[in-house]
Amino acid sequence: MSDDVPTGDGDEEEAPPSRTSELLAALVLGVCGLAFAAQASLYGLGEMQQMGPGTFPALLGLALAGISAAIALPALLSPRPDRAAGQPGRAKIAWRPILLVAAAVAAFALTLPAFGLVPASVVTAAIAGLAAERPRVGTVLAASVVAALLTALAFLVMLRLPIPAFRIPS
């Protein structure tokens, strides 16, 4: 068999992402992180002895911005051309995962008030799980249930947030 013909057995080497796609991803993460930190700072940061409600979210936003810098620096310093392994042109944008993750966030916002935290978490994780390249129904469902249980444990049991676990819409 020829070396340049894919065999379909999963051994094909994937082309690395282009420099442009890495920089674009870093830019999006950086903007989101800084916007999150700026919004969180409106809640009040407090002091070192008495941290305010915006301290932890602001630190998470700044951490995300730092991660974006860690992605951008190697892309900027990389000697490789702005093309993926001999494929000229722009990097292909994976719209399906982008749209499904955005739909998962929207689904959470819509289902939480109507059905409660656990069903909203299951729906959100299921939709986000479909963003995988080859989602398996059993894996997505199992991950959705585990994510919902961990979400309920964290937010309802440990943090004692006043969010209903289940709600029947009337």
Would you say residue 135 lies in a domain? yes
Assigned domain for 10 exists: no
Q: Could you tell me if residue 38 is inside a domain?
A: yes
Q: Is residue 3 part of a domain?
A: no
Q: pTM value?
A: 0.56
Same domain, 33 and 59: yes
Residues of the domain holding 54:
19-77
Number of domains in the chain: 2
In a domain, 169, yes or no: no
**99 and 154 belong to one structural domain:** yes
> Distance between CA 145 and CA 49 in Å, rounded?
38
| Residue 115 belongs to a domain | yes
- Do 23 and 73 reside in the same domain of the chain? yes
Q: Could you read off the pLDDT tens digit of each residue along the chain, which spans 170 residues?
A: 444 544 555 555 555 667 777 888 888 888 988 998 898 888 888 887 888 888 888 889 899 898 888 888 887 777 655 554 555 555 567 788 889 999 999 999 999 999 999 999 999 999 999 998 889 999 999 999 999 999 999 999 998 889 999 998 87
CA distances from 119 to 5, 61, 101, 108, 148 (A): 46, 27, 17, 9, 7
